Every structure is written in structure tokens, then in C-alpha cells.
Amino acid sequence: MLKVELAGRRKRGRWMDAVKKDIQRVKNKAPAEVQITAEQLLREAKERELELLPPPPKQKITDQEELNDYKLRKRKSFEDNIRKNRTVISNWIKYAQWEESLKEIQRARSIYERALDVDHRNVTLWLKYAEIEMKSRQVNHARNIWDRAITILPRVNQFWYKYTYMEEMLGNIAGCRQVFERWMEWEPEEQAWHSYINFELRYKEVEKARTIYERFVIVHPEVKNWIKYARFEEKHGYIAHGRKVYERAVEFFGEEHVDENLFVAFARFEETQKEFERVRVIYKYALDRIPKHQAQELFKNYTMFEKKFGDRRGIEDVIVSKRRFQYEEEVKANPHNYDAWFDYLRLVESDADADTVRDVYERAIANIPPIQEKRHWRRYIYLWINYGLYEELEVKDPERTRQVYQACLELIPHKKFTFAKIWLLFAQFEIRQKNLQAARKIMGTAIGKCPKNKLLKGYIELELQLREFDRCRKLYEKYLEFTPENCTTWIKFAELETILGDVERARAIFELAIGQPRLDMPEVLWKSYIDFEIEQEEFENTRNLYKRLLQRTQHVKVWISYAKFELSVDGPDRLQKCRQIYEEANRSMRNCEEKEERLMLLESWRDFEKEFGTDSTRERVRKLLPEKVKKRRKLTAEDGSDAGWEEYYDYIFPEDAANQPNLKLLAMAKMWKKQQVITEDDETLPENGPPAAEETTKQSVEAAASPENRLTTASSRETAAEMEQEKTYDDRDDDNGSSSGSEGEEEEKKGGERKESRSSEEDKE
């Protein structure tokens, strides 16, 4: 080997000498035109694999001297590596393993000890060290190493596992148990306890395993560990011990840290022991204490249990308990969610005893709205109403019902608002209990504290049902003192007197009512008064009422109603009176701004004349009907800018004096157009035509050519131009039958007939 190394050195020396000679031969030392970078040199060297050296030749050691030389060199290289970097533990391990391969256990042990001095917290180093000792069957040395390891690093579970496994494999059960005990003092993770328990069970030490479980559930107090403990007892046939473990677990966790898995396991345990009543009690106990969102699995198992072993009642109880649990969660989350309380109460009323229902009602009504505003109390007050009705109708306890109503009325802030429904229900309850004086006292208190329309109406209806009419009169008087503008109350009071047959009193009430300075619905009151007089067949009084009403208002419906009344009264001159009312109404409404109301009156008059009138009266009404004209007007926005145009319909009445110039202008324009047509026709007649026609034509032409007519024509053209600029269009409404439009059409038809007759005469000539 030494000879080979010397030969290699000689070759490298010769190569270096050759390179030096080549350098000396180079005379031009200027830079080359093409430069080569170091990166290119390295890439080419990599591509050509110039750096790869052939593997060293295998050597065969034939004698002890070569072996010692090899060991010396190898140890020297290991020591050099360690000296370069002492913290690289892999170098130490390789060195020790190499010594172990040479059966140099003492040297390997020395290397590991030196390595531990460098880094005694390296887990791999301890494991390799102990592994070498165990391979070489140095048991005491291995024990010594494990003891040192678990003393220095007690939280490394791997050391404990290896140590206990070694002792158990050696059959040293007591020593293994001792190691486990030392380990348990450090309260390791759950798997370590399970390893200890399994170790004891492998040697049939059940009592010791139970003792370990007792310590285990204290160190790791989790539900799954208690369940494992109970299953351990059940597996080994200790049923009483297992039940006791479950009971201890329930007591240990209490009501604050309950878990559904514990109760599910407990119930399944009892189910396997055929203790179905105990299972049912466990499920109900758990459902009463665990929040709904945490008890899904519990509900599922309970339902399955009832389906397997329960009857129909039991299954219904499961469903009810589930819904009850849900409502409990809702009202706990938001106690002022009164809709949830209503659903909850409906559920418990259908399937619970009276004490339970009362308890839920008391909890519900304890959640008083925080703000004293009526809108916040509207839903809450129905809890009291339902409570009172439940006590009266279901429990049949009148005294408790009375207490409920009284407590509710004491709670409501009557100075700010009240609830008439509560007062009325309380009074009706007392009447059902045949305590009329108490009912009247309640209603009197209500009216005295907080008079309301609903309270007064309810009290009056109550007295009406009792046929106490004098009391009703007094109540109506109080009611009208409280709200004199309420027309409905006046009408009801008058109706009461009418029913009792006191017509004069009813009429006096109506007179008082219409004399009030302010009324909420005066039109209803007047109508009721008029209907009252018509029912009494006092037609003269009715006419006077209509006249008095028309002095206050000129509404078109009043006129139409007046006319229909006159028409309905039997008499020889009823048509004349009705027509007279229509004419009077038309005269009074000429200055009315609402043209639609005037049109409504004329249409009603037209319908009347169609049914009862003559041709002349119909023609007269037809001439009064307006023309319907479509117009356009400018729109202006809020900021004053132009918003465009809009179309609208307007009505032009022939009787309207303000519109007469326009109507005259239109009529004159039509006359001029007609004269033009006649002139054209006369030009086509022969010379021997009728002289009268010629004279008429000449007169018409002269009249048209006169200066006045020319001015009229010019003014009509200017007016037509102005109307075009205003974008006003004259649309004749066929339904209204405008007089001027129809006359123009008739004239045009006559002109056409004349033209046809003249053309036929010419053909004959």
C-alpha cells in the first residue's frame, strides 16, 4: 500500500513539472481574444467528469501488523473528525459502532462516555449506548445506563419504555414494576398508565390494575378515562364496581362539567344489565342538565332505546323532552323572546302537571320588558292573559285567576299606557263568577284611571247585554264628554234611542252631534241623520237636512243624493223636483274648480233624463255636456329646471263664460271653412244655374271679402297659430256628444249631399 502511494506521488510530480515547462514556453502573455470564465471551466469539468476519482483499491489484510496499521489510521481519521467538530454526535456514534464491529466493547464504551460528556441530553446517544450493552449481554451495564438516562431525562418516555421492556424480557417482574412505579411518580401521559395497567393484567394482577386505575383517573380526570375504568370493571365481571365507577364519575364532574358521552356509556352499561328503568332515569337526568347543542348523541341514543324497549308513551316522552330542551335553550339565550315562551308553554300545557305549567308561567312573566313603551309590552301581556285563562279553564281555580289578573293590572304602568283587553277580560271573568258588582267596580276603576275608547265601548256592550239601558245612557254621556268629536259614538247613541223607541231623543242627539265644532267623520254622521229621518218618513225634515248640509258643503255626491231622494219620494211632481235640484246643482257648480265633479253631476243628470225625461230635456242636458280636450303643459322640477311636457285632459263646458271666446273663435273658423266649400261648389255650376244660388254665392263671397271678415279670418289664423304653439289639441269626445262638434259634422254631411246632387244634375243636363 505504501508503494502504491509513492508511485502516485511520483506521477503527480512529473505532471507538475510538465505544466511548469509549458508555462515557461508561453511568451505572449497578453489576454486571449476569447476569455473563459471559471463557471465554464467547472461546467466542462463536470461534463467530462474530470474530478471523479476511481475508487480506492480493495485491500486484504493478511497479518496482524497490517491490521494494527489499518486500525491506527482509521482511529486517527475518526479522532481527526471528532477534533474538527466535537458537537457532531454522528461522528461519535460511527466511531463507537466501528469499535463495536471490532469487538472492542471497552473502547466503544469509552467513546460513548466521552460523547456523553460532550452532549449528555442527546437521546439517540443514550439509546445507542444502551443498545450496545444489551447486544453484548452486559445487563448490569445496560441497567446502569438506563438508570442514568431516566435520572437525567425523566420526561423522555422512550427510555422508560425500553427499560421496562428489557426488565420484562429478562423476567425481572419486580424490577419492571419498580421501574413503572418510578415512572408513575412523574405523572406521565395516558399511554404510560395504560402500559403499566396492561403489564399488570398480563400477569393477572387485577387488584393492582384497579389501584393503578384509581391513581390514573385522579391524575388524568377525563371522561374517557373514567369510562375505560368502568369498562375494565365490567370486562372482569365486577358489575357493582363498574356501576359505582360511573356514579363516582357523575358526582366528580357535577353539573358544571357534564359530558354526554359519560351518560351515554352509563346508559349502555345499564342497558346491557337489563336495567331499563335505570337507563330511562339516566337519560332524563342528563337531558335536564346538558345544553341542547351538546346533547345530540344523547337524544339519538335515548330515542333508539325507547324504540327498542319503550312503549308509545315513552317515545312521545322522548320527543316532548327533546322539544322542551330546545325551548329551554332558546329562553335561556334570550329571556325576552316571548314567542319562544308561548311555544314552550303550549308544549308543557299539553303534557305536564299544573305545578310545572305554573312554574313555567311564573318564569315567563318574570321577564318584564325593560322599556316602558306599549309596543314592547304587546307580546308580553298575552303571557298574563294565557296564564289567567289557563287557571280559569284548565285548573278551575277562580281565586288564583283573580290573583293573576290583579297582579297583571298592578304591573302595568297605567299613567303611560294601559291594555283595555286585560280590564275587559277581568270584568268578564267576574261576571262568569256571578259577581256583577266586582265587574262594574273593575270597569269603573279602568275608566277612572285610563279612559279609552275600547274600554268605554266594552263597558257599554257589557251593560247592553245585561239590558241596563239607563246605565248605557249614562256611559254614552260620559263617553261623549270624553270624545265629543267621535261620530261613531253619536250614531250608536242615537241608534240606541231609536231602538228604545224614543225618536225625539234620538233626533236631539243627532242635532247635538251636527252642532259640534269638530268631528272626525262628519259625512257619516250626516248620512246617518238623513237615513234616520227617511226611516221615520219625515221627508220635510230630510229636505231641510239636505239644505242645511248644502249650506256647509257643495259636494257633488250631496247633490246627487238629494236628487235621488226626491226621486224616491212618491209624488206627482217628484220628477220636476228632481230636475230642479239638478239644475240648481249645475248652477252652483259653475265656479267649481273640480271639473270632474261637475261632469259627474251632468252624467247623473243625463242618466236620469234617459230614464224619465223627454227628447227636449235630453237634448238640453246633452248640450250642457263638456268637450274633452287633450292638452300639453310644461313641467318644472323642484330646482326650477325644465322637466319636459305632460299630457292631460281638460273639459270645456259650453256654459263656462271664460271659455266663450275660444268657442266663438272655433265656430267662426268652421263657418269660414264651410263658406270656402260652398264657393268652390258654385264655381263648378253652369251659367244658366239658378239665380238665387248665384246671388247667395255672391253675397257670401262679398261677405268673406269684406274687411271685417278679413280681419276675423286673420285673427282666427293668428289664434290657431298660438294654439299650435301651445301644443293644444281639440279631441272631440264622442261619448259626451259636444254640440259644436256635432253641428259641424252635420253641416259637412249636408255640404257633401249638396255636392252629390249638383253633380247628378250636371250629368242630366
The DSSP result for 635-685, as a single string, is EE-TTS-EEEEEEEEEEE-TT-GGGHHHHHHHHHHHHHHHHHHHHHHHHTS
CB 138 within 8 Å of CB 130: no
CB 377 within 8 Å of CB 338: no
pLDDT tens column, 327-379 = 777 888 888 888 888 888 888 887 767 888 888 888 888 888 888 888 888 88
What does the alpha-carbon distance between residue 374 and residue 381 come to, in Å, rounded to a whole number? 10
Q: What pLDDT is recorded for position 470?
A: 66
Q: What pLDDT is recorded for position 163?
A: 92
pLDDT-based confidence at residue 747 (cuts at 50, 70, 90):
very low
pLDDT-based confidence at residue 13 (cuts at 50, 70, 90):
low
Residue 319 has pLDDT above 80, yes or no: no
Q: What pLDDT is recorded for position 54?
A: 72
pLDDT tens column, 394-434 = 888 888 888 888 888 888 887 788 887 888 888 888 888 88
How many other C-beta atoms lie within 10 A of the C-beta of residue 377?
20
The alpha carbon torsion through 552, 554, 557, 560 (nearest 10 deg) reads 110
pLDDT tens column, 647-706 = 877 777 776 644 555 556 666 777 788 888 787 766 554 444 433 333 333 333 333 333
Q: Say if domain 73-311 classifies as CATH 3.30.930.10.
A: no
CB 698 within 8 Å of CB 679: no
pLDDT-based confidence at residue 303 (cuts at 50, 70, 90):
low
Q: Out of 318-332, 408-422, 448-462, 564-578, give the one with best mean pLDDT.
A: 408-422
By three-state DSSP, how is residue 434 classified? coil
| Lowest-pLDDT range of 85-99, 482-496, 557-571, 719-733 | 719-733
Q: What pLDDT is recorded for position 250?
A: 86
Residue, of 17 and 369, whose pLDDT is higher: 369
Residue 730 has pLDDT above 70, yes or no: no
Residue 527 has pLDDT above 80, yes or no: no
What does the alpha-carbon distance between residue 704 and residue 710 come to, in Å, rounded to a whole number? 7
Residue 733 has pLDDT above 60, yes or no: no
Q: Out of 123-137, 442-456, 595-609, give the one with best mean pLDDT.
A: 123-137
Per DSSP, 534 falls in state: H
pLDDT-based confidence at residue 723 (cuts at 50, 70, 90):
very low
How many other C-beta atoms lie within 10 A of the C-beta of residue 582?
24
Per DSSP, 765 falls in state: -
Residue among 87, 91, 111 nearest 100 (CA): 111
Q: What pLDDT is recorded for position 734?
A: 38
| 592: phi then psi, degrees, rounded to nearest 5 | -75, 135
What does the alpha-carbon distance between residue 569 and residue 520 come to, in Å, rounded to a whole number? 31
pTM above 0.85, yes or no: no
What does the alpha-carbon distance between residue 386 and residue 408 come to, in Å, rounded to a whole number? 12
Q: What pLDDT is recorded for position 151?
A: 92
Residue among 245, 259, 176, 257 nearest 217 (CA): 245
Sign of CA dihedral 402, 403, 408, 410: positive
Residue 540 has pLDDT above 70, yes or no: yes
CB 446 within 8 Å of CB 423: yes
Average pLDDT, the chain: 75
The residue ranges of every structural domain in the chain are 73-311
In 569-659, alpha helices (H): 574-588, 595-612, 615-624
CB 224 within 8 Å of CB 212: no
pLDDT tens column, 239-250 = 888 889 888 888
Residue 759 CA: distances (Å) to CA of 303, 657, 684, 698, 762: 107, 43, 9, 20, 5
pLDDT tens column, 147-199 = 999 999 999 999 999 999 999 998 889 999 999 999 999 989 999 999 999 99
Residue among 237, 311, 259, 238 nearest 280 (CA): 311
By three-state DSSP, how is residue 236 classified? coil
List, in sequence order, every residue forming a beta bridge with 651; answer none if it has no partner: 628
pLDDT-based confidence at residue 708 (cuts at 50, 70, 90):
very low
What does the alpha-carbon distance between residue 248 and residue 269 come to, in Å, rounded to a whole number? 15
Residue among 657, 666, 650, 566 nearest 608 (CA): 566
Task: Compute CA 187 distance to the chain's CA centroid, rounded to the nearest angstrom.
Answer: 53
Amino acid identity, position 136: S
Mean pLDDT across 302-324: 64
Share of the chain above pLDDT 70, in %: 75
CB 625 within 8 Å of CB 606: yes
Q: Which residues have CB under 8 Å from 646's CB, separation 6+?
A: 632, 633, 635
